[in-house]
Chain A
Amino acid sequence: MMTVESIESILYKEVSRHASLLLWVLDRENRLVYANTFSTDLIGWPLEGKAFQELVVDFENRMDPQQMADDPQKVHLVHIITKDRFPQSFSCTFHRIEAGVMMIGSIPLQEQERLKTEIVTLNQELSNMTRDLQKANAELKHLNDLKNQFLGMAAHDLRKPVGIIMAYSDFLEEELSSVMTEEQAGFLQTIQSSGRFMKRIIDNFLDAALIDSGRFDMEFSSEPARTVLDHALAMVSLAARRKNITIAASSPGESPVLTIDVSKIEQVVMNVLANAVEYSPPGSRILVDTDWDERHFSIRITDEGPGIPPEEIRHLFQAYGKSSARKTAGERSIGLGLAISRKIVDQHQGTISVTSELGKGSIFEIRLPLRQESAGD
Chain B
Amino acid sequence: MIDEIRYRSYFDALLTGRRNTCRNIVLKLREEDVPLESIYVDLFQRSLYEIGSMWEQNRISVATEHLATAITEYLMAVLYSTLFIPDPKDRSIVVSCVANEYHQIGGKMVADILEARGWNTYFLGANTPIADMLNLVQEKRPDWVALSLSVYFNMPQLERAIEELRRIGSGFGIVVGGQAFQWCKTAFTERYPDIPICASLYDIDVLEPISKKARTR
Task: Identify the stretch in B1-9, B59-67, B199-207 within 8 Å (CB) of chain A at 4 or more residues.
Answer: B59-67
Known: A115-B66, A125-B74. A77 touches B59 (CB 8 A): yes
Partner of A118, one of B62, B70, B90: B70
Instruction: Return chain A residues, CB-CB under 8 Å to B58.
Output: 57-58, 62-63, 76-79
A-B contacts counted at CB < 8 A amount to 97
Instruction: Give the nearest-CB partner of A77 in chain B.
Output: B58
The answer on a CB contact under 8 Å between B67 and A89 is no
The answer on a CB contact under 8 Å between B62 and A89 is yes
The answer on a CB contact under 8 Å between B67 and A314 is no
Partner of B57, one of A59, A317, A346: A59
A315 in the interface (beta carbon within 8 A):
yes
For the residues of A in contact with B, the DSSP-based class is mixed
The answer on a CB contact under 8 Å between A115 and B67 is yes
The answer on a CB contact under 8 Å between B91 and A314 is yes
Task: State which residues 341-363 of A face B: CB under 8 Å.
Answer: 342, 345-346, 349-355
Instruction: Return chain B residues, CB-CB under 8 Å to A355.
Output: 212-213
Docked Cα-Cα span, A365 to B64, in Å, equals: 55
Instruction: Give the nearest-CB partner of A136 in chain B.
Output: B81
A60 in the interface (beta carbon within 8 A):
yes
Docked Cα-Cα span, A126 to B70, in Å, equals: 11
Known: A79-B58, A352-B216, A354-B214. A111 touches B64 (CB 8 A): yes
Partner of A77, one of B61, B89, B213, B216: B61
The answer on a CB contact under 8 Å between A126 and B74 is yes
Minimum CB–CB distance from B109 to chain A (whole Å) comes to: 17
Known: A119-B70, A318-B88, A321-B88. A350 touches B217 (CB 8 A): yes
Task: State which residues 84-121 of A face B: CB under 8 Å.
Answer: 85-89, 108, 111-112, 114-115, 118-119, 121
A283 in the interface (beta carbon within 8 A):
no
Instruction: Return chain B residues, CB-CB under 8 Å to A345.
Output: 217
B77 in the interface (beta carbon within 8 A):
yes
A310 in the interface (beta carbon within 8 A):
yes
Docked Cα-Cα span, A139 to B215, in Å, equals: 33
Docked Cα-Cα span, A58 to B213, in Å, equals: 50
Instruction: Give the nearest-CB partner of B78 in chain A.
Output: A129
Partner of B62, one of A63, A88, A122, A315: A88
Partner of B215, one of A115, A122, A318, A353: A353
A316 in the interface (beta carbon within 8 A):
yes
Minimum CB–CB distance from B140 to chain A (whole Å) comes to: 12
The answer on a CB contact under 8 Å between A79 and B62 is yes
B12 in the interface (beta carbon within 8 A):
no
Task: State which residues 48-79 of A face B: CB under 8 Å.
Answer: 57-60, 62-63, 76-79
The answer on a CB contact under 8 Å between B90 and A315 is yes
For chain B, the count of residues having a C-beta within 8 Å of the partner chain is: 32
Instruction: Return chain A residues, CB-CB under 8 Å to B60.
Output: 77
B153 in the interface (beta carbon within 8 A):
yes
Instruction: Return chain B residues, CB-CB under 8 Å to A310.
Output: 212
The answer on a CB contact under 8 Å between A317 and B59 is no
Most buried by A among B67, B78, B91: B67
For chain A, the count of residues having a C-beta within 8 Å of the partner chain is: 46
Q: Contact mask B52-93 → A, CB, 8 Å, 1/0?
A: 000111111111101100110010011000000000111100
The answer on a CB contact under 8 Å between B61 and A108 is yes
Minimum CB–CB distance from B149 to chain A (whole Å) comes to: 14
Known: A315-B88, A345-B217. A115 touches B212 (CB 8 A): no
Instruction: Give the nearest-CB partner of A114 in chain B.
Output: B17
The answer on a CB contact under 8 Å between A118 and B17 is yes
Docked Cα-Cα span, A85 to B217, in Å, equals: 42
Docked Cα-Cα span, A310 to B59, in Å, equals: 52
Instruction: Give the nearest-CB partner of A78 in chain B.
Output: B58
Docked Cα-Cα span, A159 to B146, in Å, equals: 48
Partner of A60, one of B57, B63, B70, B77: B57
Instruction: Return chain B residues, CB-CB under 8 Å to A122.
Output: 19, 70-71, 74
Most buried by A among B56, B102, B217: B217
Docked Cα-Cα span, A86 to B126, in Å, equals: 14
Instruction: Return chain B residues, CB-CB under 8 Å to A198.
Output: none
Minimum CB–CB distance from B199 to chain A (whole Å) comes to: 18
Instruction: Return chain B residues, CB-CB under 8 Å to A354.
Output: 213-214
Instruction: Give the nearest-CB partner of B154 in chain A.
Output: A85
Instruction: Give the nearest-CB partner of A89 in chain B.
Output: B61
Minimum CB–CB distance from A325 to chain B (whole Å) comes to: 15
Instruction: Return chain B residues, CB-CB under 8 Å to A78.
Output: 58
Minimum CB–CB distance from A341 to chain B (whole Å) comes to: 10
The answer on a CB contact under 8 Å between B216 and A353 is yes
Known: A59-B57, A119-B70. A317 touches B90 (CB 8 A): yes
Q: Contact mask B144-163 → A, CB, 8 Å, 1/0?
A: 00000001010000000000
Given contacts A76-B58, A119-B70, list 14 more A-B pairs with CB under 8 A.
A79-B58, A86-B62, A89-B62, A111-B63, A114-B63, A115-B63, A115-B64, A118-B70, A122-B70, A122-B71, A313-B90, A316-B214, A342-B217, A354-B213
Which A residues fall within an 8 A CB radius of B? Answer: 57-60, 62-63, 76-79, 85-89, 108, 111-112, 114-115, 118-119, 121-122, 125-126, 129, 310, 313-319, 321, 342, 345-346, 349-355
Pairs A-B, 4 closest by C-beta atoms: A314-B90, A89-B61, A318-B88, A59-B56
Q: Can you offer 13 A-B residue contacts whose CB atoms are under 8 A?
A: A76-B58, A79-B55, A79-B61, A85-B153, A87-B62, A114-B17, A119-B66, A121-B19, A314-B90, A314-B91, A345-B217, A346-B217, A351-B217
